Amino acid sequence: MLTREELAATVDVVEWRFLRAHLERGGLIVVARGLDLLEAGERVANDDAAAVAGWIAAGWLAKPSAEQIAEWDATEGDTFRMLIVRPYILIQEEGQIVH
């Protein structure tokens, strides 16, 4: 079982361009801003099927939509909080880096 503390140590902030390759293999999961990234990661990592299914049904966890992908591809500098929970990468929109 992975703990919240163990997961917290692995959270990173990355730009969309670094996540794009993971999209191609189907491993990206978008965590809605209203859901705590660590809570989601902990439940996914520990196979809490009831919580995860509820979040999917409510739209709190989802694969990126075509619209989201197009927006992220078109906007340079979008950043995401990222948490690796093998085989998935959970991402949560953070904002934009000003270059």
Query: Above 80 in pLDDT, residue 98?
Result: no
Q: State the first-to-last Cα distance of the chain, in angstroms, to the nearest integer.
A: 40
Q: What is the three-class DSSP state of 87?
A: coil
Domain boundaries, the chain: 4-96
d(CA 59, CA 31): 9
d(CA 82, CA 8): 10
**More confident call, 78 vs 49:** 49
- What pTM did the predictor assign? 0.89
Structure confidence by residue, pLDDT tens digits, 1-52: 888 889 999 999 999 999 988 898 889 999 999 999 999 999 999 999 999 9
Cβ contact 28:63 at 8 Å: yes
